[in-house]
Structure 1
Amino acid sequence: MTADLRAAAFGAHPGAAVRVRPGMPAADRWLVAVTLGAQGRYAAAAAVLEDLLTAPGTPPAVAAHAAVTLAAHRRQLGGHAAASRLDAMGLRLASAAPHGPPDADGTDALAARVDALVGLAADAVGTGAAGRAQRLLDAADDVVRGHPARRPVVRLGWVRAELALLRGDATAAVAPAEAALDLALASGSVRHVLKSRIVHAVARAVAGADPREVLAELDAAADDADALGLPTILWPARYAAADLAELAPNGVSTANDTAARTADRSVNGRPSDAARRRHAGMATVSVILGRCDPVGRRLMREGLGLGARHPVT
């Protein structure tokens, strides 16, 4: 695997321009797909991943990662059932693959097995199956113990936090979210830091943290995602901020809000109140829909409750 592709997929340059080149090894093609998916280029990523899953020469560990990555993309678009089937495929492939030396970025077969278990747990959380999610997280915890990669453990923290929120225990969600953020910061993955900041902020908000502080953090994470060209992180951050602005008691305002409200003259300005934040999120959704393959587009429309012909602008 080349250093540039690792930096794009799991490092400091998630917005880098990447593409599959003739003769590129399967592992590098997988890194290209990871990067494309993070940039919201889901159709391009799916084409690479589906080729890796069907090509006869794909190493089993790479095929396992391809299945789990495609599952993650389907889940990000709201397709938990579709993701679960792919995560199950990834688990089968990873369990059957030869276990080579562990890799610090988590690109080996054992890390793929952990990723598949965590993905299945996230699928269970998405469908409200808390008990199944807990069992899968426990299994992932057993497998990952002693592995040098931080990335699978960061993902474990996200899903632990989401499971605690599903169970209505917001206080219990804060610790794994904070641990995931600390680990992501240590790993050097800009993308995972941004996702961890959002998970941590949401957990803190539900646990009763100052809404102004949380809103400022969500806005900052959204701005950073926008600057890095990561719409898949931008739109959840905007939606979470809009939800918080709507639900916070007595309303929420910041210094930026005051300035924006007096100059409500440009929809291109920094989002301030809930409606403007949600509008910014929907604009990003529109961009992502245009980059989806037909399956991804259908899943996203269903997940967001959009009609088949509903314009997202």
Structure 2
Amino acid sequence: MDALVEVAFGPDPGRWPLPAATTADELWLRAVAAGGQGRYASALSDLDRLARARPEPVLASHAFGTRASFERQLGRHEVARSWDGRAVAAAGQDVEAAADALIGLAADALGRGRFALSRQLLERAADLLGNASGRVAIRLSWVSAELAMCTGRGSQAVGYAEAAVRAAEGWPSARHAAKSQVVLAAALCGAGDLDAARRVAQQAWETTERLGLVPLSWALTCLLHDVGGSSLAAAQIAAARDAYAATVAHRGGDWSAR
């Protein structure tokens, strides 16, 4: 399991092929790792195997939430909502799993333009987590930043994104650190600081490219293309963006909802 942890939540998120899974926990880790690389077909196959294994409720909650995150990444927020709802139900009294699932529901609500609901769900998750740190706390900062961006609170968005960056520095996941930089670049853009947004995005792109995190690389090239003014040629950025999208599609990511 240690090797899979290093890919899913450690320093080696781009490793491929992934180590084999022999337990339910390992199947979830493989799915998380493959999803981070944009290998959605592989990830969903492992989640299907995990479901057939009838995992204990907390692991089932994490698996439902992981499936929801894949749907959300591909633009299907309504489908994601149903999986996150199942994640909440399976979490029971486990505080971290319940908070994780509520954050997923908040992201789903945000994607459907239900900002007040998203805020309420984030507040519930924050109350559950308290001063806890780690993966779920980082996710809370991500979605809080995204909600702030969508509701015109640029400086607050930057604050949440910077909190995610700080939290990720104290956690071993290279993928979470990279995504925190992606969120920060987007928040800076939303706040009108385009120079800082470009600088953070270009640095983050170098990181995600090196780590093999194709979905995050795609998001960064979309941002850089939209803001313009990069030291890189616009045609180069557009070509990279389209290549990442094609790679995700080849690996089983259906972009039809976008």
TM-score, length-scaled by structure 2: 0.95
User: In the alignment, is residue 230 of structure 1 matched against residue 230 of structure 2?
Assistant: no
Equivalent residue letter for 1:176? Y
1:162-241 equivalences in 2 (<5 Å): 162-209=146-193, 211-241=194-224
> Does residue 6 in structure 1 map to residue 19 in structure 2?
no
Give the Cα–Cα distance (whole angstroms) in 1 for the partners of residues 230 and 176 of structure 2. Answer: 28
- Give the C-alpha shift of residue 141 in structure 1: 0.6
Distance (Å, rounded) in 2 between the aligned partners of 1:206 and 1:124: 20
Task: Give, in angstroms, the shift of residue 207 of structure 1.
Answer: 1.1
Given the alignment of the two structures, is residue 120 of structure 1 paired with residue 105 of structure 2, yes or no? Answer: yes
- Which of 40, 46, 61 matches 2:58? 61
1:27 and 2:7 aligned: no
2:67: which partner in 1?
70
Return the offset for 1:54: 3.4
2:36 to 31, 35, 38: 38
How far 1:29 sits from its partner (Å)?
1.2
Question: Alpha carbons of 1:280 and 1:253: their partners in 2 closer, same or farther (altered >3 Å)?
Answer: closer
Deviation for aligned residue 1:165: 1.0
Q: How far, CA to CA, are the matches of 1:64 and 1:54 in structure 2? A: 14
The whole-number CA distance in structure 1 between the counterparts of 2:107 and 2:7 is: 24
Task: Look up the match of 2:237.
Answer: 277
SS state at 2:177 partner: helix
TM-score (norm 1): 0.79
Distance 2:83 2:160 in 1: 26
Distance apart, 1:180 and its partner CA? 0.5
8 Å contact from structure 1 (residues 117, 139) kept in 2: yes
- Residue 135 of structure 2: aligned partner: 151
Q: Distance in 2 between matches of 1:84 and 1:112?
A: 16
Q: CA deviation at 1:204?
A: 1.2
Are the counterparts in 2 of residues 91 and 117 from structure 1 also a CA contact under 8 Å? Answer: yes
CA distance in 1, matches of 2:11, 2:57: 28
Question: What is the CA deviation profile of residues 154-208 of structure 1, one whole-angstrom value per residue up to 9, with x for unaligned ones?
Answer: 1000110111111111111111110001101111211011111011111112212
Q: Which residue identity lines up with residue 291 of structure 1 in the other structure?
A: R
| Pairwise CA distance, 1:28 | 1.4
Q: CA deviation at 1:301?
A: 2.1
- Matched residues, number: 257
Looking at structure 2, the residues matched to 124 and 115 of structure 1 have their Cα atoms a distance apart, in angstroms, of: 14
**Would you say 1:81 and 2:64 are equivalent positions?**
no
Alignment check: 8 A CA contact 2:184 2:200 kept? no
Q: CA RMSD in A?
A: 1.5
Q: Counterpart in 2 of 1:90?
A: 87
Identity %: 35
Is contact 1:53–1:67 with CA below 8 Å preserved after alignment? no
Which protein has greater RCO, CA pairs closer than 8 Å, 6+ apart?
2
Structure 1 spans left out of the alignment, 5+ residues: 100-108, 246-251, 258-271, 304-313
| Code of the aligned partner of 2:168 | A
Q: String of CA shifts for 1:105-131, please: whole Å, max 9, x gaps.
A: xxxx43221111000000011011001
Contact 1:26 1:59 survives alignment (8 Å): no
Structure 2: which 5+ runs fail to align? none
Shift of 1:146: 4.7
Query: CA 1:146–1:216 in structure 2 vs 1: closer, same or farther (change >3 Å)?
Result: closer
Residue identity opposite 1:7 in structure 2: E
- Distance in 1 (CA, whole Å) between partners of 2:143 and 2:167 is 14
Query: 1:117 and 1:214 mapped to 2: Cα distance?
Result: 29
Structure with the bigger percentage of helix? 2
Alpha-carbon shift at residue 145 of structure 1 (Å): 1.7
| Structure with max Cα Rg | 1
Could you tell me which amino acid in structure 2 is paired with residue 28 of structure 1?
E
